[in-house]
Chains A and B, each alone.
Chain A
Amino acid sequence: MEKLKLLGTYTSPFNRRVMWALKLKGVPFEYIEEDLFTNKSELLLKSNPVYKKIPVLIHNGKPISESTVILEYIEETWPENPLLPVDPHERAIARFWIKFMEDKDKAKKDCLEVLRTIEEHGLKEDKKFFGGTNIGLTDLVFGLLAYQWELMEEIVGVKLMEVHSFPRLHTWAENFKSVSVIKENLPDRDRLFARLKGRKEVLVGSSKSH
């Protein structure tokens, strides 16, 4: 039996997207919750010496770090229930939106502009998911928009992702959350709320629009 371990934290969206991918493919794994603030485990430090961050996937003793690299690895290793299209151009589009989301994470730019770009360019009228008719890696990377956004709006006290302004995003979020693996593996609302509230200043900063 292949040994598969995932080092992560409950509230991290980077960790959650990897969990979703493994569960969508029906791949069993051992999950290890890391304490990032007081005590990073020896295993984590040894497995990701470059960044010392979660998530880290350890497969038969070999570590893989960086969530998007892990997602591609999972797709390559367990091709059943594919999460990337077969056509190279479609794959390039999926990867483009994954990179888009990663870059915006780092830049913490104008939220509204990011949402507008996704609404206008990322989601086309007849697409159920970013990948088309089936859920894919891009949907998993955008996943936190489906469950975290409402909580953030509540904490910050500003409604940003209005239904009438972002109809496609709202439809996508509903489609995403209705996939049974996703529905059964969303973070607990209260636990997430407590975590996000602690980062209110960061959220207030990033919710301002120009």
Chain B
Amino acid sequence: MADEVVLLDFWPSFFGMRARIALAEKGIYYQYRDEDLQDKSPLLLQMNPVNKKIPVLVHNGKPICESLIIVQYIDETWKGKSPLLPSNPLQQAQARFWADYVDKKIFPSLRDTWSTTGEQQEAARKEFIEALKVLEGELGEKPYFGGDSFGFLDVSLVPFYSWFYAVEKCGNFSTEAESPKIIAWAKRCMERESVAKSLPDSEKVYNYVLENKKKMGLE
């Protein structure tokens, strides 16, 4: 029996991008459905009644929610190709720790850099740059966070790269100047088809951000 895989997603969502990359790395055929977050589909509400959020992976009718949980599920279910989590427990723990750091530090500071102004924006920008520098330290001289292979932490962080251009314009700074190794790493990841196909165009993201700023009354 063939697998039926559906991804409920929203094109600019970095959390959604994580799922897209993992599915592509494993070569899984799936149906992509873009949700209107102002008018969520009955399927989304049924599959994620607790949070009502995307992304949701629906595998043979069963839902899996939360992006990092989805990536782990994909890794555990389709084991044959492109392992994402390391097999060594300590390295696994490190990958999970830093993916959690990305959620705690990169996500909120990036969001606040584009969606706030004044002192709050300044604080967010500082936190975002600081977090990138910490991650740069963690990357060191390795080609990927996973070492020689593209892995779980790479999947967790690279989606934010599609938003760098937008936050740079909003926050008036350069990520390349602040953390050149992160940019070099991101460009290396973008050479992978799975990543290039899963991330939206930076200009498109910037226009989306501008539209939202207008709606929020922030010019």
Asked if B136 lies at the interface with its beta carbon under 8 angstroms from chain A, I say: no
A50-B134 in contact (CB<8A)? yes
- B interface majority secondary structure: helix
Comparing B1-9, B57-65, B120-128, B150-158, the segment that makes contact with chain A is B57-65
Q: Using Cβ atoms and an 8 Å threshold, which residues of chain B touch A99?
A: 66, 69
Besides A66-B100, A73-B93, A92-B73, 13 new A-B residue pairs in contact (Cβ under 8 A), listed by A number? A59-B90, A64-B90, A69-B100, A73-B90, A76-B93, A88-B77, A91-B72, A95-B69, A95-B72, A96-B64, A96-B66, A99-B69, A121-B49
27 A–B contacts, CB within 8 A, in A order: A62-B90, A64-B90, A65-B97, A66-B96, A66-B100, A69-B96, A69-B97, A69-B100, A70-B93, A73-B89, A73-B90, A73-B92, A76-B89, A76-B92, A77-B89, A89-B59, A89-B62, A91-B72, A92-B64, A92-B69, A95-B66, A95-B72, A96-B65, A96-B66, A96-B69, A99-B66, A117-B50
A92 contacts which of B72, B90, B96 (Cβ < 8 Å)?
B72
B residues near A (Cβ < 8 Å) are 49-50, 59, 62, 64-66, 69-70, 72-73, 76-77, 89-90, 92-93, 96-97, 100-101, 134
A88 contacts which of B49, B73, B89 (Cβ < 8 Å)?
B73
Nearest to B100 among chain A residues (CB) is A66
Q: Using Cβ atoms and an 8 Å threshold, which residues of chain A touch B101?
A: 50
Nearest to A93 among chain B residues (CB) is B64
A88-B76 in contact (CB<8A)? yes
Q: Could you tell me how many residues of chain A have their Cβ less than 8 Å away from some Cβ of chain B?
A: 23
Q: Using Cβ atoms and an 8 Å threshold, which residues of chain A touch B66?
A: 95-96, 99
Asked if A100 lies at the interface with its beta carbon under 8 angstroms from chain B, I say: yes
Q: Using Cβ atoms and an 8 Å threshold, which residues of chain A touch B59?
A: 89
In whole Å, how far is B156's beta carbon from the nearest beta carbon of chain A? 13
A72-B64 in contact (CB<8A)? no
B73-A91 in contact (CB<8A)? yes
**Complex Cα spacing A173 to B97, Å:** 29
Nearest to B75 among chain A residues (CB) is A88
Q: Using Cβ atoms and an 8 Å threshold, which residues of chain A touch B65?
A: 92, 96
